[in-house]
A = this chain, B = another copy of it.
Amino acid sequence: MGLSKSDLFSKEHNEIAALARAFAHPARVAIVFHLLETKDCINGELVLELGLAQATISQHLRELKELEIIRGTIEGTKMSYCINPDKWFEIKQVFDTMFDQFEQPTDGDCC
- Nearest-CB residue, chain B, relative to A7: B51
Contact with B along A54-83 (1 / 0, CB 8 A): 000000000000000001110100001111
The listed residue (B52, B72, B80, B101) touching A8 by CB distance below 8 A is: B52
Chain B residues whose CB sits within 8 angstroms of the CB of A51 once the complex forms? 5, 8
Q: Distance in Å from the Cβ of A47 to the closest Cβ of chain B? A: 12
The tally of residues in A whose CB lies under 8 Å from a CB in B reads 52
The listed residue (B13, B33, B83) touching A26 by CB distance below 8 A is: B13
Q: Which 9 A-B pairs have the closest CB atoms?
A: A20-B23, A9-B26, A73-B111, A92-B99, A24-B24, A13-B29, A17-B26, A20-B24, A21-B24
